[in-house]
Amino acid sequence: MTAQPLLAPRSACDLPVLRQRGQREVFCGLTGIVWLHRKMRDAFFLVVGSRTCAHLLQSAAGVMIFAEPRFATAVIDERDLAGLADLHDELDRVVGRLIDRRPDIRTLFLVGSCPSEVIKLDLAKAAARLSLGFGNRPRVLSYSGSGIETTFTEGEDACLAALVPDLPAEGRDAEASLLVVGTLADVVEDQFRRLFADLGIGRVAFLPGRHREDLPAVGPATRMLLAQPYLAETARRLEDRGARRLAAPFPLGAEGTTDWLWAAATAFGVPAERFETVTRPARQRARAAVARHRAALENRRIFFFPDSQLEIPLARMLSCELGMIPVEVGTPYLHRAHLDPDLSRLSPDLVLSEGQDVEAQLDRCRAAKPDLVVCGLGLANPLEAEGFTTKWSIETVFTPIQGYEQAGDLAELFARPLDRRNRLEV
């Protein structure tokens, strides 16, 4: 068994892309707050928006009441729309009240929405002013999660990108360090930390971290490994700060995780034998866990509606490790540079689509008659009612699926709807 990639990568550039422009059935970037606020324990997310934005967060969160969730919406009303000067005063008042109630908050994100952008409310300026006023306790930052600028997971990208300027600078002569970028469940983060430590990679940091003081330093000695496929802007800003990205497929499945870890191991000069020794037990566990679902999934045809931008790495994992046949893989945006290692492992026969025209895509889906459809919550039950078997894509964002120990769970997420359909006799 070798540690090198099993499938020979080819260039991804030859895969044609079906570009779609029409109705998009995808959440906006505000949704990222749902997982970001759980991850960053001392951050608060204040959306400056409308009742719609508040309702979206409440509905998408699938969660009604935390005693004191670390997010809220400052709902703009007609009085605010009367004059912009007023709006800034109002924002100061709302933030002031919030900080009085939550002195534990170390980072406050002002999150822009469609309404705040259309009326050109300058949240960057407001954040700078407020931050200054508070003496950086809390530090106030801003980003846009609006639906006119961001699609679903792009909200996390915008949030992390906003954090990059706050990272301390590290000198050119610093010892090489590894920066893992993209929200991971704590349990996954801890597993990766142990693996990196066992590999002998000493300086490892994760962005976002759990607390503000965890903000890692960045500089030319930083090697970054993306844990999520939707971080175009964050990666660009980190590269501007000197970090170098390690190309790798995303850490989904036994092989995806191996290749991802191997990219780091190569960059840090970890000997192949050591890599083999350290990763073998978990890799074997992962393979065995994935294999348990092979019978249920092998040769099943799968159709992805665009949602989280995880579609391409998921399709790679499901086809390479479970023998599924992706028919169409839709993604809201295609960031080729970051996805090349995953794309190059996909079969050239599938339809790769970018953007969306939901009605046309539903027609393609009906014509293709896939065994499993991966789609958002608005489409799942209607497709089930038409006789399709579906998997909600949002679960791949909310559930820990990365790394060796979650590979079996990931396979199971896709096997379960098929299993369920088999069991039901009504």
Binding residues are 28, 53, 114
Residue count (the chain): 426
In the complex with ligand SF4, the residue whose CB is nearer, 158 or 290, is: 158
Q: Which residues of the chain form contacts with ligand SF4 (CB under 6 A)?
A: 28, 30, 49-50, 52-53, 56, 113-114, 146-147
Distance from C-alpha of 180 to C-alpha of 216, rounded to nearest angstrom: 10
Q: Reduce the DSSP state of residue 405 to 3 states and report it.
A: helix
**Nearest CA-CA partner of 25 in 307, 295, 319:** 307
Distance from C-alpha of 251 to C-alpha of 260, rounded to nearest angstrom: 6
Please report how close the Cβ of residue 349 comes to ligand SF4 at its closest, in angstroms.
35
Contacts of 53 (CB under 8 A, 6+ apart): 30, 47, 73, 75, 113, 114, 115
Report if residue 72 touches other proteins, rule: CB under 8 A.
Answer: yes
Using only C-alpha atoms, what is the Rg of the chain? 22
Please report how close the Cβ of residue 184 comes to ligand SF4 at its closest, in angstroms.
25
Find which of other proteins, ligand SF4, none residue 404 binds, CB within 5 to 8 Å per kind.
none
Find which of other proteins, ligand SF4, none residue 375 binds, CB within 5 to 8 Å per kind.
none
In the complex with other proteins, the residue whose CB is nearer, 73 or 222, is: 73
CA angle (128, 238, 163) in 5-degree steps? 30
Find which of other proteins, ligand SF4, none residue 365 binds, CB within 5 to 8 Å per kind.
none
Q: What is the DSSP letter of 252?
A: B
- Contact pattern from residue 93 through residue 132 relative to other proteins, giving x for each residue in contact according to CB under 8 A and a dash for the rest: xx--xx---------------xx-xxx-------------
CA atoms within 13 A on the CB side of 53: 29
Q: Reduce the DSSP state of residue 27 to 3 states and report it.
A: coil
Instruction: Point out the residue whose Cβ comes nearest to ligand SF4.
Output: 147
**Nearest CA-CA partner of 324 in 301, 303, 342:** 301
Find which of ligand SF4, other proteins, none residue 425 binds, CB within 5 to 8 Å per kind.
none
Find which of ligand SF4, other proteins, none residue 34 binds, CB within 5 to 8 Å per kind.
other proteins
Find which of other proteins, ligand SF4, none residue 76 binds, CB within 5 to 8 Å per kind.
other proteins
Binding-site residues for [4Fe-4S] cluster = 28, 53, 114
User: Alpha carbon of 107 to those of 154, 164, 194: distances in Å?
Assistant: 20, 13, 28
Question: Which residues is 149 bridged to in the sheet?
Answer: none
Q: Cβ distance 149 to 142 under 8 Å?
A: no
Find which of ligand SF4, other proteins, none residue 367 binds, CB within 5 to 8 Å per kind.
none
In the complex with ligand SF4, the residue whose CB is nearer, 115 or 208, is: 115
- When binding is defined by CB under 8 A, the residue of 198, 400, 405, 419 that contacts other proteins is 400
Report if residue 65 touches other proteins, rule: CB under 8 A.
Answer: yes
In the complex with other proteins, the residue whose CB is nearer, 146 or 344, is: 146
Judged by CB under 8 A, the chain residues 139 through 158 that form the site for other proteins are 146-149, 151
**Whose structure tokens read 């496929």?**
229
In the complex with other proteins, the residue whose CB is nearer, 98 or 291, is: 98
Judged by CB under 8 A, the chain residues 187 through 246 that form the site for other proteins are 187
Q: Reduce the DSSP state of residue 139 to 3 states and report it.
A: strand
Distance from C-alpha of 346 to C-alpha of 248, rounded to nearest angstrom: 14
Contacts of 270 (CB under 8 A, 6+ apart): 199, 200, 201, 264
Q: What is the largest CA-CA distance in the chain?
A: 68
Judged by CB under 8 A, the chain residues 300 through 359 that form the site for other proteins are 359
Distance from C-alpha of 126 to C-alpha of 108, rounded to nearest angstrom: 12
Stretch that binds other proteins, among 180-188, 268-276, 283-291, 337-345 (CB under 8 A): 180-188
Report if residue 27 touches other proteins, rule: CB under 8 A.
Answer: yes
Please report how close the Cβ of residue 221 comes to other proteins at its closest, in angstroms.
29
In the complex with ligand SF4, the residue whose CB is nearer, 150 or 222, is: 150
Neighbours of 188 (CB within 10 A): 20
Find which of ligand SF4, other proteins, none residue 310 binds, CB within 5 to 8 Å per kind.
none
- When binding is defined by CB under 8 A, the residue of 20, 107, 131, 183 that contacts other proteins is 183
